[in-house]
């Protein structure tokens, strides 16, 4: 019956070709959409976790604590060692965030001074990656890398001094920092209120031997689909750490951004359903016209002994052949384009800049999961079946005597 | 001997827009195994209607139809489909082959509907085509065959399924007289050599010359019957 369905579909010639072509286009488009979204999502995941880490260890109830000193991790070295023992393959680094007033010669701004470890990922991510001018702050030299917007606001440039005031803390409380570099962060809001220091200098200023949080980077985590490893690591770490600390995943640390990423899957499914719905209308049209042109033939088939269910199955098979032919072509085409996209692609210039503001990487790598590929073909099969329902129902209602006498 | 097909007081009334048109008015008929019977009558006499009712293609308005000792007319559509699939072979007047299938595939089509394995249905279809001297045309599609050849394939399709009875509704109507006579000869030979039961309708008196039993139908009634010596 598949063979008969195949022959019947292609006797429709141009009409079947156009319909199968539309299905192929839809499948290609959806695969590309999945691939692009997958690349973007993975890129955002990597970008996000580059600046937040995969896990964060901090004082329990951190968000609800207002006093700076109560938010600090004082037993820093022990804690870091404990984290490292629990997750030996992970990179572990401390961050000290100090709310402060930073002043140039004539202007001042409320800022967050970020004390980062000189050999850590965060120093690379925050400073090296976005360094527009100058160099990263050197340990022990009381240097700072300022966001460009902040430097403009303070009217300071490389080599100038900026004065930091962090009153009410356990450190020196004030200090003069040489502006060593200017950083061009993708998020302009962050750029206007961030200055990066060496961790030891930040500790000397505000919190000796303490940190605001410990950030954990797990190795070889490139895609969102590997997220399960983060949850497993969190469970291990939570069990290993003493009371008084909490372990957050990147998702818990950045719930709003994580929610945006989570929206991607249902949105893609809605788009895919819409596209397939449109293609389905074409399929219904083609299958219906094919039925109208062959009423007499179906009458013969019924007269020869096919029951209603059998002829309905025939119509459904034709719809499946039509849609799956297009889907296969679309799958091959989409697969080839995805393969190309998986080598790396970027959006056109201005668009890439705009999206970079939202944490999207400039170069992305198309990525689809096996589930997504399967879902495209499941959509195709469902479309074929749904499109065949009405024509098949009509065929099943044909009276053989009338159908045989039918003149198209 | 039990009749293979039996009709009792068969009536059929077509209704359209409140107008009733009687097509059959109390037909009694019995067909016995191995018979070669023609139903003769002018156009509109009810020949096709009678064959449709006997083959389970349509339901009578009144009366009974029996096939191989089982009542047919009171069953549902699915049962009728099974009846047609397993017990009745149909040959229609306008060839009615499936255009995308080859002669062999057409001849094997009923067997495919029955779920006969491919190798067996191919053999049976080829044998049937050979009986109609169509084996050399097995790979051709209907549009590559003449009208007579197409009708021979249609007979082969019925033959391959080995039904209890073959009902042929004006099988020669679209053929020239020579080809029509040849087709009837093929059917007669199959009846003679294989004992197949044929019941066919025609309005062409020239085709009735060598038919042993002829039932005459007029205005939906049997108006006479001839049984000639073999």
What ipTM does this complex have? 0.90
- B72 falls within a domain: no
Mutant choice from B100, B159, B165 vs A, greatest count of A C-beta within 10 A: B100
SS3 annotation, B132-154: CCCHHHCCCCHHHCCHHHHHHHH
Q: Encoding tokens for residue A380?
A: 């195709």
The secondary structure of A151-202 as a DSSP string is HHHHT--TT-EEEEE-TTSSS-SEEEEEEEEEE--SSHHHHTTEEEEEHHHH
CB-nearest partner of B101 from A4, A302, A307? A4
Within 13 Å of residue B21, how many CA atoms lie on the same side as its CB?
10
Identify whether B185 is part of a domain. yes
User: Chain A residues with CB inside 8 Å of B114's CB?
Assistant: 305
How far is it, in rounded angstroms, from Cα A329 to Cα A52? 42
Residues of B in contact with A297 (CB under 8 A): 98-99
Q: How far, in whole angstroms, is CA A395 from its chain's centroid? A: 46
Length of chain A: 408
Residue A234 exposure: Cα atoms within 13 Å on the Cβ side = 19
Token pair 């527009």 in the structure block, residue: A132
Q: CB atoms < 10 A from the CB of B228, how many?
A: 11
The answer to whether the CB of B201 falls within 8 A of the CB of B170 is: yes
CA dist B86 and B126 (Å) reads 19
Measured distance CA(A76)–CA(A210) in Å, rounded: 6
pLDDT at position A156: 94
Q: Range with the lowest mean pLDDT among A182-191, A358-367, B177-186, B203-212?
A: A358-367
Tokens of B27: 């037909």
From the list B81, B75, B63, the residue with the least C-alpha distance to B26 is B63
- Mutate which of B55, B84, B163, B168 to test chain A, going by most A C-beta atoms within 10 A? B84
* Cβ contacts of B101 on chain A, cutoff 8 Å: 4, 7
Report the range of poorest mean pLDDT among B30-34, B62-66, B95-99, B121-125. Answer: B95-99
Tell me the CATH number at B52: 3.40.50.300
Residues of A in contact with B86 (CB under 8 A): 305
Q: Which residue, among A387, A176, A374, A376, has the nearest Cα to A278 in the 3D structure?
A: A387
B72: region left, alpha or beta (phi > 0 left; psi from -120 to 50 alpha): alpha
Separation between Cα atoms, residue A379 and residue A27, nearest integer Å: 9
Please tell me the total count of domains within chain B. Answer: 1
Mean pLDDT by 10 residues, chain A (408 residues): 75 80 91 88 82 90 85 90 93 94 91 93 89 92 94 94 86 91 88 94 92 93 85 93 91 84 85 88 86 85 88 89 91 92 80 68 82 89 90 87 74
Q: Which helix (H) or strand (E) holds A285?
A: helix A255-293
B15, part of any domain? no
Could you tell me the sign of the dihedral formed by the alpha carbons of A38, A44, A47, A49, in that order? negative
Residue B210: domain span: 33-61+79-227
State whether residue A362 is helix, strand or coil: coil
Q: What pLDDT score does B230 carry?
A: 56
Secondary structure of residue A325 in the 3-state scheme: helix
Instruction: Decide if B92 and A303 are in contact by the 8 Å CB cutoff.
Output: yes
Q: Answer whether A6 touches B (CB < 8 Å).
A: no
pLDDT of the residue at B117 = 93
Q: What is the pLDDT of residues A188-247, one digit of tens each?
A: 888 999 999 999 999 999 999 999 999 999 998 888 888 899 999 999 999 999 888 999
Coil, helix or strand for B24? strand
Of B52, B110, B157, the CB nearest to A401: B52
CA A368 to CA A338: how far, in whole Å? 8
Domain spans, chain A: 2-47+258-405, 55-217
Q: Between vectors from CA A52 to CA A46 and to CA A55, what angle results, nearest 5°?
A: 95
Q: Which of B100, B112, B157 sits opposite A11 (nearest CB)?
A: B100
The answer to whether residue B74 sits within a structural domain is: no
């Amino acid at each position: 019956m598949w063979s008969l369905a195949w022959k019947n579909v292609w006797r429709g010639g141009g009409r079947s070709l156009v319909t199968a072509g539309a299905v192929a286009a839809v499948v290609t488009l959806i695969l590309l959409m999945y691939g692009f979204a997958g690349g973007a999502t993975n890129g955002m995941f990597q970008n996000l976790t580059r600046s937040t880490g995969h896990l964060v260890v901090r004082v329990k109830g951190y968000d609800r604590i207002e006093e700076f000193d109560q938010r600090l991790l004082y037993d820093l070295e022990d804690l870091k060692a404990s984290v490292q023992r629990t997750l030996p393959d992970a990179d572990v680094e401390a961050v000290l965030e100090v709310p402060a007033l930073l002043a140039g010669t004539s202007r001042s701004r409320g800022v967050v001074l970020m004390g980062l470890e000189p050999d850590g990922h965060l120093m690379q991510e925050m400073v090296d990656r976005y360094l527009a001018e100058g160099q990263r702050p050197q340990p022990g030299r009381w240097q700072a890398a300022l966001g460009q917007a902040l430097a403009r606001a303070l009217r300071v440039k490389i080599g100038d001094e900026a004065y930091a005031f962090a009153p009410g803390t356990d450190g020196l409380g004030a200090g003069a920092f040489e502006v060593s570099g200017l950083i061009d962060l993708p998020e302009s809001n962050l750029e206007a209120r961030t200055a990066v220091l060496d961790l030891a200098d930040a500790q000397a200023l505000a919190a000796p031997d303490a940190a605001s949080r410990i950030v954990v980077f797990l190795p070889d985590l490139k895609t969102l689909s590997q997220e399960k490893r983060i949850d497993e690591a969190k469970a291990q770490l939570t069990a290993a750490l003493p009371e008084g600390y909490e372990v957050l995943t990147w998702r818990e640390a950045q719930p709003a951004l994580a929610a945006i990423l989570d929206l991607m899957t249902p949105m893609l499914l809605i788009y895919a359903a819409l596209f397939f719905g449109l293609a389905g209308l074409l399929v219904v049209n083609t299958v219906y016209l094919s039925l109208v042109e062959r009423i007499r033939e179906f009458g013969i088939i019924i007269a020869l002994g096919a029951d209603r269910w059998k002829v309905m199955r025939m119509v459904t098979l034709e719809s499946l052949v039509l849609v799956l032919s297009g889907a296969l072509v679309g799958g091959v085409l989409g697969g080839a384009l995805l393969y190309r996209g998986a080598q790396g692609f970027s959006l056109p210039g201005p668009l890439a800049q705009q999206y970079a503001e939202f944490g999207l990487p400039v170069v992305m790598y198309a990525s689809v999961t096996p589930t997504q590929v399967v879902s495209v073909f499941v959509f195709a099969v469902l479309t074929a079946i749904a499109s065949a329902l009405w024509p098949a129902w009509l065929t099943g209602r044909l009276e053989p005597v009338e159908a045989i006498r039918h003149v198209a | 001997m039990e009749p293979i097909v039996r009709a009792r007081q068969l009536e059929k009334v077509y209704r359209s827009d409140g107008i009733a048109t009687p097509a059959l008015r109390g037909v009694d008929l019995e067909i016995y195994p191995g018979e070669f019977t023609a139903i003769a009558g002018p156009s509109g006499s009810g020949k096709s209607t009678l064959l449709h009712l006997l083959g389970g293609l349509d339901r009578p308005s009144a009366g009974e139809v029996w096939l191989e000792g089982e009542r047919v007319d009171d069953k549902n559509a699915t049962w009728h489909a099974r009846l047609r699939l397993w017990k009745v072979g149909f040959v229609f007047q306008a060839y009615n082959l499936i255009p995308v299938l080859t002669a062999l595939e057409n001849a094997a089509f009923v067997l495919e509907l029955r779920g006969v394995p491919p190798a067996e249905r191919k053999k049976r279809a080829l044998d049937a085509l050979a009986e109609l001297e169509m084996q050399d045309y097995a790979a051709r599609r209907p549009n590559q065959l003449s009208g007579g050849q197409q009708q021979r394939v249609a007979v082969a399709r019925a033959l391959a399924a080995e039904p209890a009875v073959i009902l042929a509704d004006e099988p020669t109507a679209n053929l020239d007289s020579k080809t029509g006579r040849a087709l009837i000869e093929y059917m007669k030979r199959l009846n003679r050599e294989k004992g197949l039961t044929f019941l066919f309708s025609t309005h062409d008196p020239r085709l009735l010359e060598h038919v042993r039993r002829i039932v005459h139908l007029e205005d939906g009634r049997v108006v006479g019957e001839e049984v000639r010596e073999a």
